[in-house]
Amino acid sequence: MGTRLIALVLLLVVSGCTPRPETTPAQANNATDVMFLQMGLAQIDEGDDLATLVAQRAEDPALRTLATDLGGQWREEDGTMRRWLLGWQQPLTPGPGTDHAGHGHLHTLRPADLADLKSRKSDFDRTAVGLLLSHLGNCVETSRMESAGGAYPPARALARTITERRQSQVRALLTMAASG
């Protein structure tokens, strides 16, 4: 009995030392996934300045709330996007001259747009709604690109979430624009 017990204990110890076989293959990513994340980070960087300004200065409480919520969502998405790109050993921004593989500067929110918004007095909210609508529309287009051509399932899921969030925000902004 003692020999069997020792053999059983040794078997358990040895079996615990061997690495478990991987149950799922590593999920592959492709150039569309990388481009989506890089463009998404650029959109977040630009949009966060806009959202912060709107959250601070908008007169409409609903617009301030939307901008605050958007900033929180962007911080969450930013962390995920950076983690994936760094994990794949990809740069956080595209190389010079890549022009996002034909997608141009879809994410561009010009510094002049923010400067103009900062200088606004009486029509700050209306101008902010217009800039947010444009920027969020670009975010939706970037997410749709990922949904159509991305290979990494978690990135595709993130793109669906972003599309749903941004479309909801666009609807809210359109309602604000119609009533203002």
Closest CA to 121 of 57, 177, 41: 57
Q: What is the CATH number of domain 27-94+102-179?
A: 1.20.1260.10
Q: Taking the complete model, does pTM exceed 0.85, yes or no?
A: no
Cβ pair 151, 33 in contact under 8 A: yes
Say what the pLDDT of residue 19 is.
Answer: 45
User: What are residue 17's phi and psi, to 5 degrees?
Assistant: -90, -15
- State the DSSP code for 25: P
Domain ranges of the chain: 27-94+102-179
- pLDDT at site 106: 54
Residue 7 pLDDT: 42
pLDDT tens track, the chain, 180 positions: 554 544 443 343 444 444 443 334 467 999 999 999 999 999 999 999 999 999 999 999 999 999 999 999 999 999 999 999 999 999 999 877 555 445 445 547 889 999 999 999 889 999 999 999 999 999 999 999 999 999 999 999 999 999 999 999 999 999 999 986
Instruction: Say what the pLDDT of residue 98 is.
Output: 55
Residue-by-residue DSSP string for 65-80: HHHHHHHHHHHHHHHH
